[in-house]
Amino acid sequence: MEEADVKKYTEISKLGEFGLIKHLTDKIELLQPSTLKGVGDDAAVIAPPAAGEVMLLSTDMMAEGIHFELTYTPLRHLGYKTVAVNVSDICAMNGEPTQVVVSIAVSNQYSVESLDEIYKGIKFACKEYKVDLVGGDTTSSRSGLVIDVTILGKAPKEKVVYRNGAKPGDLLCVSGDLGASYAGLLLLEHARKAVGADPAKKPELQGYGYVLQKQLMPRARVDIVEMFRASDVVPTSMIDISDGLASEIHHICNASQTGCLLEELKVPIHEETTKVAKENGVPPSLFALSGGEDYELLFTINPADLKKLKEAGMITVIGEILPAEDGIMIAAKDGKMHPLAVQGWDGLKAK
Amino acid sequence: MEEADVKKYTEISKLGEFGLIKHLTDKIELLQPSTLKGVGDDAAVIAPPAAGEVMLLSTDMMAEGIHFELTYTPLRHLGYKTVAVNVSDICAMNGEPTQVVVSIAVSNQYSVESLDEIYKGIKFACKEYKVDLVGGDTTSSRSGLVIDVTILGKAPKEKVVYRNGAKPGDLLCVSGDLGASYAGLLLLEHARKAVGADPAKKPELQGYGYVLQKQLMPRARVDIVEMFRASDVVPTSMIDISDGLASEIHHICNASQTGCLLEELKVPIHEETTKVAKENGVPPSLFALSGGEDYELLFTINPADLKKLKEAGMITVIGEILPAEDGIMIAAKDGKMHPLAVQGWDGLKAK
C-alpha cells in the first residue's frame, strides 16, 4: 500500500462532546441577518421576521436502514439531503427557509472524519439554500445513524399556503418530474444486491445520473416559490411530494374537502425514470404515483393565475380539483376513470 | 393469569405512518396564542413575538443506552424529561418557551401503547410549561429509541442572557441543589444490576424519592426566570447545569473571559444526595461538581441586584467571578485553593 493511501481516522471519543461540537461547527458562515446568535450558547437567538410575516417550523428525521443505507449513500449526500427535505417543507408552505438545527446520533464506531463528511453536506446545503446552521446536538447511539433536522422559515402571513385551500375548478399542478427518486433507489438497491452476491462485480450505474441524483441529492424547489413571488401568484393549496403523488393528492383533497381528477398521461416523467421502470417491468406511472421522495411541489392554482406564471415551463398541469362528491379519480391511460389508489411509501408500514 | 392482566398491544404497523401521527397528536391542546397552525401541514405556522422580543431556538436529543436505560426509565418520564431539558435551555437564556416539535425513532417492536406512554409524558410537560406541541416526525429505527426535541422560545431582546456576560465582582449563584440527579442515576444503576443478578430481588428505592425524581423527571426552572422578571433583575450570564457544576462554571468563565472562586462548602446538596454519596464512599460534592443532569440554573449577578431578588431563598450564592488571571478556582473544604477540575459527564466520551 502506498503511503498516501494510509488515511488517519480520529476516534470521536478523542475530542469529547464539546471538542466535537467545536470541531464540527467551526467556521460556520451565517448568511441570515436574523441570526443574532448561532451555535455556542444554550439556544440560538433569532430576530423576529418583518411586520406582516409569520414563522414556519418543521422537522424531519432520517434513520439508517429505514431512510438510507450507508452501503450506497455517501455521507456527504446524506447530510445534504436531510437539510434539503426540510427546506422542501418550508417551500411547501410557500415560505423561505432561514435557520436549521441538526441533531445526530452516531455509533462510537464512527470517526470524526465521517461526521465531517455529513457536515460538509449539511453546510453545502445551508449555503445553497441560504439557511444558517444555528445549533444542534451530537450524541452517541448504541446502533444506527439517526439525523434529525428542524427548520425555521418565514413568509408573509397572507402568502402562507396550506393543504386545505383547494377549490373545485382549481388546476392541479406539479413542479419538475416524478418517480425519478424511486427509480434511483431501485438501481442502488439492485446494485447493492449484485455486489453483495459478487463483490468483484462493479455496479452498472452509468447513464443513470439524473435518477441517482434525485435519490441521493434531491433539491428543494425554492425556485418555484421564487417564481410564485415574481409572478404575484399564491397557490390555493400546496404540499411537497415526499410519499408519492397519489398519497399527496389525497392529503390535499381530504384537507380541502374536495375531489380531484388526475390525468395519468399528463404526469411528467423523465426518460431515465421510464427506462428504469421498463427494465423492471412496471409502468413508469407507478413510480410517479407511488414512488415518493421526489420533493417536487404539488399545488393547486386558480385557472386565471396560470397565464400570470412566469417561466410556467417549470410546472405541469396534471389535473383539476372537483367537488368532493365526484371523488378522487384518475383518468388512466386506457381512457377509463378509476378511484386513485394510495400505495405510498410508508416509513413505518413498509419496513 | 387474571383476565384483567391481559393487555392488548397494537403493532405500530397496523396504523401506518399517517394513522400513527393522527393517533398520537389527536386532541392536542394549544395554549400559545402565537400558534397559528399546529400539527397537520408541512410546517407549523407561528406568529412573531411582540415588538422588542426575539426568538430562541434549541434542540436536545436523547438516545437509548446513552441517556436512558429502558429497564428503569418509565416511558412517560422519558417523554416528560425530553421536553423539560429543552425548556431548561430556554430558561438558561432567560426566556419563555413557546413551541416544541418532537421526532422519535422507534423499533417496530414497539407497540402503539408504548408510544402513547411517551406522548403522555410529552403532553404533560407541554401543559406544565405552557408549550405547544406543533409538529414532529415518527419513524422506525433498526434499533434503539431516539427522541429529539426542538424548542422555540422568546424573550425581550435586552433581557436575553448569554454565557459571556459575567464580570469580575459578580456573584456566582445556583438554583435548587446539585448532585441529586446523579445520586438517583446511581441508585437506579445499582438496582438494575442487583435485579439482573437475582430477578427475585426487589430493588430498595424507598426513601429516595427526591433524588429519583430529579433523575427521572427533572423540572426546568421556569420559576427562577419568573422571579428574575418579577424582581426586575437580569443576570449577567447564565447556563443550565446539564454536565455538572464544574464544567458549566468553565463554560461561563471561558465565554466571559474571567476567572472564578467557587466555595465548595456553599454548594447546596440535598440530604438524600449526601446519603447516597456516603453509601458509595465518595464526597457528596463530587456528585454536585461532576454529576450533571441537574437542570438547575447557574448564573451570575451584579452584587447590587442580590437584595432586589424576591424569594431569594430559591437561590444560593456559591462564589464570585474573578479577573481571568486569577484562574478558575475552588476553595475546598480543607480551606485550600485548587484549580477547579472538570470531570463532567460527557455523553460521547464516557460511553
Task: To the nearest 10°, report the CA torsion of A184, A190, A191, A194.
Answer: 180
Low-confidence ranges of chain B (pLDDT < 50): 1-5, 344-351
Of B18, B57, B349, nearest to A16 by CB-CB distance is: B349
Q: For B63, which of A67, A141, A153 is closest by C-beta distance?
A: A141
Contact B65 A12 (CB under 8 A): no
Asked if B54 and A60 come within 8 Å (Cβ–Cβ), the reply is: no
Model pLDDT for residues A223-233, shown as the tens digit of each residue: 999 999 999 99
pLDDT at A250: 97
Please give, rounded to a whole number of angstroms, the shortest distance from the CA of B334 to a CA of chain A. 31
Residue A6 has pLDDT above 60, yes or no: no
Residues in chain A with CB shorter than 8 Å from the CB of B13 are 348-349
Contact B146 A141 (CB under 8 A): yes
Residues contacting residue B318 through CB under 8 Å, at least 6 positions apart: B172, B173, B174, B262, B263, B266, B267, B268
What domains can you pick out in chain B, each with its CATH number? Answer: 3-159 (3.30.1330.10), 163-348 (3.90.650.10)
Q: Do B153 and B90 form a contact (C-beta atoms < 8 A)?
A: yes
- Could A56 and B62 be called an inter-chain contact, meaning their C-beta atoms sit closer than 8 Å? no
Residues of B in contact with A20 (CB under 8 A): 348
Dist CA A132 CA A54 (whole Å):
18
All residues of chain B having their beta carbon less than 8 Å from the beta carbon of residue A95 are: 43
Q: A103 and B148 in contact by Cβ < 8 A?
A: yes
ipTM of the complex: 0.91
Phi, psi for B344 (deg, rounded to 5):
-65, 155
Cross-chain residue pair B46–A64, CB shorter than 8 Å: no
Model confidence pLDDT, tens digit, residues A141-186: 877 899 999 999 999 999 999 999 999 999 999 999 999 999 999 9
Task: Answer yes or no: do B162 and A37 touch at CB < 8 A.
Answer: yes
pLDDT digits (tens, 9 = 90+) for B138-197: 888 877 899 999 999 999 999 999 999 999 999 999 999 999 999 999 999 998 888 878
Point out the residue among A59, A95, A348 whose CB comes nearest to the CB of B12: A348
Q: Do B57 and A44 touch (CB under 8 A)?
A: yes
pLDDT at residue B1 in the model: 40
Q: Which residue has the cell 386513485?
A: A340
DSSP state of A306: G
Q: Look at A136 and B58 and tell me if their CB atoms are within 8 Å.
A: no
**What's the pLDDT score for residue B195?**
80
Q: What is the pLDDT of residue A19?
A: 81
Q: What is the pLDDT of residue A15?
A: 81
A chain contacts of residue B36, beta-carbon cutoff 8 Å: 54
CB A196, CB A351: distance < 8 Å: no
Residues of B in contact with A67 (CB under 8 A): 139
Nearest Cβ partner of B142 from A59, A64, A160?
A64
Torsions phi, psi of B130, nearest 5?
55, 50
Is residue A28 predicted with pLDDT exceeding 90?
no
Contact B177, B273 (CB under 8 A): yes
Which residue out of B54, B61, B71 would a mutagenesis test of the A interface target, given it has the greatest number of A Cβ atoms within 10 Å? B61
Among partner residues A93, A255, A346, which is closest to B17 by beta-carbon distance?
Answer: A346
- Please report the pLDDT score of residue A128 as a whole number: 97
Residue A349 confidence (pLDDT): 37
Q: pTM of the entire structure? A: 0.93
Angstrom distance (rounded) from CA B261 to CA A68: 50
B67 and A139 within 8 Å at the Cβ level: the answer is yes
Question: What residue in A sits closest to B56 (Cα-Cα)?
Answer: A45
Task: Residue B142: list chain A partners with CB under 8 A.
Answer: 63-66, 143-144
Tell me the per-residue pLDDT of A260-297, one tens digit each, with 9 for 90 and over. 999 999 999 999 999 999 999 999 999 999 998 999 99
Q: Measured between CA atoms, how close is A284 to chain B, in angstroms?
A: 25
Please tell me which of the candidates A58, A61, A66 has its beta carbon nearest to residue B43. A58
> Distance (Å, rounded) from C-alpha A340 to C-alpha A247?
9
User: What residues in B contact A102, CB-CB < 8 Å?
Assistant: 59
Chains A and B: how many Cβ contacts under 8 Å? Answer: 247
Give how far A115 is from chain B: nearest CA, Å: 13
> Which residue type, as a one-letter code, is found at position A201?
K
Per-residue pLDDT of A212-225, as tens digits, reads 999 999 999 999 99
DSSP string, B140-200: E-SSS-EEEEEEEEEEEGGG---TT---TTPEEEEES-SSHHHHHHHHHHHHHHHHHH-TT
CB-closest option in A37, A136, A142 to B143: A142
Res A3: pLDDT: 44
Task: Give the model confidence (pLDDT) of B190-217 as tens digits.
Answer: 988 888 788 777 777 889 999 999 999 9
